Amino acid sequence: MWGAFLSETIKLRRRSMLLWGFGGGLFFPLLATIFTIERATKTLEFNPHGGVRVTIAALEQPTGLVHGVVDVSSLIGIVSLCLFAAAFAVEYSQGTLRNLLVREPRRSQLLTGKFLALVVFIAIVVIVAVGVSVAVAFILAPGKGISTAAWTSSTGISDLLHAVLHAFLAAAIYGLFGAALGVILRSPGVAIGVAVAWVIPIEAIIVGAIWSNGDRWLPGQLLDALAHHGNSNSSYLHALVVLVIYAVIVATGTLLLFNRRDA
């Protein structure tokens, strides 16, 4: 497994992987942080395009530092989903899987080592994304008259660490689903297309038109709840437990398929 892990780290140093991983992972949190701070208002204001703008008072709370990051955790998750799906499917579509199996015939070890390397990669992406967002928040806050005192309090640091942990957990589970799609569909384009279509429009349609209680059970909704440390639909614990059950089922099914299917 260690060999598969090391081998994958060489592939992850490709320019395309770094660009998509860090580019996608950094873009959304950075944008969200800038918008959240720059558009913050002194009093509660309804946005003409829907929702409400964050108030300066809310941003001055310990959680204010990671407000933007938490809002786009699901988008980091979708970047992770696409990254994992592409990383697994491309081994089939390029024909490199056979080379890998010649050097590591223990398929479970190959799959697990590759997955763990990608998990470490996405953890680094999350940490860097949050780190850059935090730095930008500290730079922009004084200009908007936002006090950052609570951000560096023990509660603020704790909220920051929780935000990193939840964003990472959501990204890792998104990644597992992406890996499963990559192995099942064996085509990066198809795997990414199916993944994004499921998470963005299909789940919304199911919840909106077919199954109103689906927001407590559908994976995309649960991952959103996990990233937000629970939301109005699901508690954090409910989301975590159901997602762990899903993850075990998906991981077992993927391992079985990968082990039994001809390469």
Nearest approach, Cβ of residue 176 and another protein (Å): 22
Nearer to another protein, 42 or 98 (CB): 98
Q: Select from 99-107, 154-162, 185-193, 210-218 the region that touches another protein (CB under 8 A).
A: 99-107
Given 42, 52, 95, 152, the residue binding another protein (CB under 8 A):
95
Nearest approach, Cβ of residue 193 and another protein (Å): 22
Q: Is 23 in the site for another protein (CB under 8 A)?
A: no
Rounded-to-integer distance, Cα 184 and Cα 83, Å: 15
Chain centroid to Cα 209, Å, comes to: 26
Q: Select from 38-46, 93-101, 186-194, 205-213 the region that touches another protein (CB under 8 A).
A: 93-101
Q: Select from 5-13, 70-78, 190-198, 229-237 the region that touches another protein (CB under 8 A).
A: 5-13
Token pair in block for residue 15:
């320019």
**Could you tell me which of 224, 262, 216, 261 has the C-alpha nearest to residue 242?**
216
Supply angle C-alpha 9, 262, 103, rounded to 5: 40
Provide the mask over 197-236, with x wherever binding to another protein is found by CB under 8 A and - wherever it is not. Answer: ----------------------------------------
Rounded-to-integer distance, Cα 36 and Cα 55, Å: 9
Tokens 């929702």 label which residue? 51
Rounded-to-integer distance, Cα 133 and Cα 72, Å: 11
Q: For 119-132, b where at least 16 C-beta lie within 10 A, e where not — what string? A: bebbeebbeebbeb
Rounded-to-integer distance, Cα 90 and Cα 251, Å: 19
Given 59, 70, 83, 110, the residue binding another protein (CB under 8 A):
110
Nearer to another protein, 42 or 261 (CB): 261
Q: Is 102 in the site for another protein (CB under 8 A)?
A: yes
